[in-house]
Amino acid sequence: MSVTATAPGIQETLKTLGIEAINRGASTGGHWFNTRGPQIDSISPVDGQLIASVHAATEAEYEAIIMKAQEAFKVWRTIPAPKRGEVVRQLAEKIREYKQPLGELVSFEMGKSLQEGLGEVQEMIDICDFAVGLSRQLYGLTMHSERPSHRMYEQYHPIGIVGIISAFNFPVAVWNWNTALAWVCGDVCVWKPSEKTPLTAIACQKIAQEVFAANDVPEGVSCLLIGDAEIGKLMSNDVRVPLVSATGSTRMGKAVSQAVGARLGKSLLELGGNNAIIIAPSADLKMVVPGAVFGAVGTAGQRCTSTRRLIIHEEVYDKVRDAIVKAYGQLKIGNPLDQNNHVGPLIDKDAVTAYENALKQVVAEGGKVIVEGGVLSGEGYESGCYVKPAIAEAENHFQIVQHETFAPVMYLMKYSGGVENAIALQNGVPQGLSSAIMTNNLREAEAFLAATGSDCGIANVNIGTSGAEIGGAFGGEKETGGGRESGSDAWKVYMRRQTNTINYSDSLPLAQGIKFDL
């Protein structure tokens, strides 16, 4: 039986990554289960062809994997953190070896451009490098005690099993954002990837397995469960999984949060974004155009940080609008493996339907489409997933503008008066992930970054909303979920905090001077 993917060179890519025609959908890192669940077909949005299939995991395999992860945690947590970091360092080296084929598979299975696919794999390498340094810095604080001859300090311990639920749009990076930190912290990980991108998950598991086996890492430190939402429900309701990190829609995040919260577990949520760039009168057009255009059309508008709204001052509205419209006329849409193209396909036809409905609704609510959209057909567009990036003039209060459409649709709106009016529009949506302002006015920039400014987890000045650096904590507020991943002190969510007091005297003073005559 052969893999049926038809894109030139992709069969060699699959062979390099160990992807077969029919794959098994559950692994403990040392053992692949002969899964008997429903068959999941990975259909490339690039050409509409079957790449390969996966038999999903069942509840029985879920139970077996959780038990193996529990056993592995007992051993993994006792290994010194710098030694755990050394394993992650080797993982980064192995990912470097596989960067090209893994990036190609990300591009082909998900539909983002090859450069974006390679960039996502580079994020994996970067977070591993960050985690290696972190493995020697899992620090706590020392506090002065109010009692004589006492010392107080805090330390962090591994939390246990970290459940990871990831989305299709970043099929490898988000997994590694969580795992690299969790592993150096001493945790073990159980991953449920999107059923839309199962093959990249299998590739990642095999790469990690190769490194872990060479280092005698206990089986169960890295586990994989491919399946539908039922696997996520099992994980969310399982008291043996103290932390669930979930990336995806707000609807999904609310369900996870409710289930995990009901058992007093911890959840790390990275959900929807409805991100805006404010264009002030002093903005440099040479920075506005690339920032806005890439933010809106990169990954075909399927990033949680994609630019959805441009809030433009009335003094420069016409000039900015015309420049953006002109730039859209230069976009090339097509096979994302061809580096001459700027925009690839949407993930599937359901996404195409959502895109078409958004354009209909914005007109129905009184908006005006100024860069026409549409679904592309004909040679090179056989999958039916290629669409034209569209722009509409709209009002912030429109229902469709308040909603996140995971597609290349951007809304333009005017503001007048001071920057505080633009900030009110920027904040006037349920989501709160990423935001930006384009200005050369220091007061405007500082107002945007102040406590009364952007209410998002990410606020940028003179760069766009899309993407983020590994060194900073990534996440947002409101319906974005409040979680933080990646850099800064995001590692703390993967650990439990413990306060310690040591009495090195020969007496035991009690609080508030209480005494017992014993």
Catalytic residues: 270, 304
What are the Cα distances from residue 486, in Å, to 88, 175, 177, 330?
Answer: 15, 11, 5, 35
With contact defined as beta carbons under 8 Å apart, do 27 and 193 qualify?
no
3-class SS at 153?
A: strand
Residue with tokens 């995971």: 406
DSSP assigned state of 451: T
Identify the burial level of 273 via C-beta atoms within 10 angstroms of its C-beta, where 0-12 means exposed, 13-18 middle and 19 or more buried: buried
CB atoms within 10 A of CB 190: 26
Residues 451 and 106: their CA atoms lie apart, in Å, by 38
With contact defined as beta carbons under 8 Å apart, do 102 and 203 qualify?
yes
Calculate ∠ Cα 353-357-363, nearest 5°. 155
The torsion angle over the Cα atoms of residues 466, 469, 470 and 474, rounded to 10 degrees, is -50
Angle between helices 81-97 and 198-214 (to 10 degrees): 130
Query: Dmax over Cα atoms in the chain, in whole Å?
Result: 93
Strand order in the sheet with 434-438: 368-371, 390-393, 409-415, 307-313, 275-279, 434-438, 458-461
Residues 160 and 74: their CA atoms lie apart, in Å, by 9
- For the chain, what percentages of helix, strand and coil (3-state, to nearest 5) are there? 40, 20, 40
Residues 136 and 261: their CA atoms lie apart, in Å, by 32
H or E segment and range at residue 191: strand 188-192
Residues 362 and 374: their CA atoms lie apart, in Å, by 14
Task: Give the distance from CA 68 to its chain's centroid.
Answer: 27
Within 321-433, strands assigned E span: 368-371, 390-393, 409-415, 431-432
Calculate ∠ Cα 120-279-302, nearest 5°. 30
Residue type at 302 in one-letter notation:
Q
H or E segment and range at residue 181: helix 173-185
Helix and strand numbers (H, E) in the chain are 15, 23
